[in-house]
Structure 1
């Protein structure tokens, strides 16, 4: 082991302490415990879905004889084709898109307006308005089912908007209800997100002569893209999976959303649960696809600002 020598500012040599090999830091306790715990929790959440996929690939006779946890004799995708054709899933999926896509777009557009006014314009009563939006999320939907049902029966619609004479039994009823119930959550999230944006950006835009619309549309809204993508993913999933409002406000079977198509796979005296599992997997695929497409923006919207004090 040799000592290094360096030259001081006086020109003379100066010995450095001998180099020693740095010992590796001891591994922290629980370094393997956290990944194992997270893996176990993930498997616990995925277990019902994995069991449904496994059951959908097996004939009902085989599982009825040997049980769902037995080793399969053969696997096939016959149930998926049968579930899609027998339930009329294509028509119901179109109905769901006609409900979910407008509801998500209008909800995010209106919520961004309200959030911008509350967080960036500092209007009078903005805090009270935000509290009202937040309090709306605490109201159980079942509380106002009867008043909404009576109200929708009285609100007329023009013939070009719906073939029904009133708001009841139309796609507009589900769109309006979902917008009303999802607005509070979106305003709360977007207003908090907009508060994290630097105010210097808007101040510079005001100096350059930008109006309120320019400040909102061309400056603030593009910066909120991660939050909007995260909210769009959540809102589409929630509206897509909704079953309560369709059951109450839709009486025409041809207008029901895709969650109602699973009822067509249930028989009056017998239900093939393997066929029902295949239908459930097909119904869940669009939400998984939406999440995969917006995964990067979704995670960015959830983690942005996590490191700020």
Structure 2
């Protein structure tokens, strides 16, 4: 009588699920992340060095170098920079220029973008091309013509102490609006084209006029794009120094970027004090970005995926 033995059970071969394969880190992905980290550190290095230098005495850095280990750290330079440069006044001047400039640019750009992209006007594409081409014009080319024109445009005394557009906030605001509106029109027009046409068609059926289509339907849908543009425009107008330097002769009207000149001595410059002033000047733009970062990132990623 023969006995048959059952074969020994073999170990099941391990199976890899799609989820597990998706979690596996690829070498190419690691390389991309390493590259992005290196680029981020390269962009942050000047800011980090400025913060580091602003916390150290100038005598220490001049003796040991800026890349040496600190022996004493303090916030004295920040207090000195804020008081010596009179930054409160210059911050107010910058807000007088930047805030109305951003509002006017977005308001006018949204009007033009809506007319070009949603109303199907004749020559709308040509108009959009003209606004886009305006961004290609070097700003420095028209400094002299604008200087002459602004000196000849009269304004009432309550708008300008000089009785002309020169040496007034209006000159700087007008230039900022003129040069920035083309970029905003281009971005908003392309975004509005991605909005479903059926929404406006349904509104027209319900009796909505052009203003209702623009103000109550289209603009609320453009909120992420408007927030992203507002962040960029405020940063650009806030950091601008050229136009205020050219069109303003009164030092009390200059924006915050000019306040750093007050920290430069005629024969000696404390670069640690200048670094502290630069960090103070950069803080408002950082705060604006942190407050609007959710909308800013949403505006940048619009159109990256469908569905």
Into which bin does the TM-score normalised by the smaller protein fall? over 0.9
Aligned partner of 1:226 among 219, 224, 227: 224
Q: Counterparts in 2 of 1:261-280, with a 5 A limit? A: 261-280=259-278
Cross-structure match for 2:79:
81
Cross-structure match for 2:197:
199
Structure 1 residues 27 and 64 mapped into 2: Cα distance closer, same or farther (>3 Å)?
Answer: closer
Cross-structure match for 1:157:
155
Cross-structure match for 2:67:
69
Instruction: Spell out, residue by residue over 1:35-86, the C-alpha distance to the aligned partner (whole angstroms, 9 max, x if none).
Output: 1111111000000000000000000000000000000001000000000000
CA distance in 2, matches of 1:46, 1:245: 27
1:285 Cα offset (Å) = 0.2
Find out whether 1:59 has 2:78 as its counterpart.
Answer: no
Aligned partner of 1:21 among 14, 19, 33: 14
Cross-structure match for 2:306:
308
Find out whether 1:241 has 2:222 as its counterpart.
Answer: no
1:158 Cα offset (Å) = 1.0
Cα RMSD of the aligned pairs, angstroms, is 1.3
Specify every segment of 5 or more residues in structure 1 that has no aligned partner in the other structure, as ranges: 1-17
1:304 Cα offset (Å) = 1.3
Instruction: Spell out, residue by residue over 1:1-53, the C-alpha distance to the aligned partner (whole angstroms, 9 max, x if none).
Output: xxxxxxxxxxxxxxxxx975313536422232221111111000000000000
Instruction: Spell out, residue by residue over 1:108-139, the C-alpha distance to the aligned partner (whole angstroms, 9 max, x if none).
Output: 00000000000000101100000000000000
Specify every segment of 5 or more residues in structure 2 that has no aligned partner in the other structure, as ranges: 1-10
More helix by share: 2
TM-score under structure 2 normalisation?
0.93
CA distance in 1, matches of 2:81, 2:104: 33
Cross-structure match for 1:129:
127
Q: Secondary structure at the match of 1:153?
A: helix
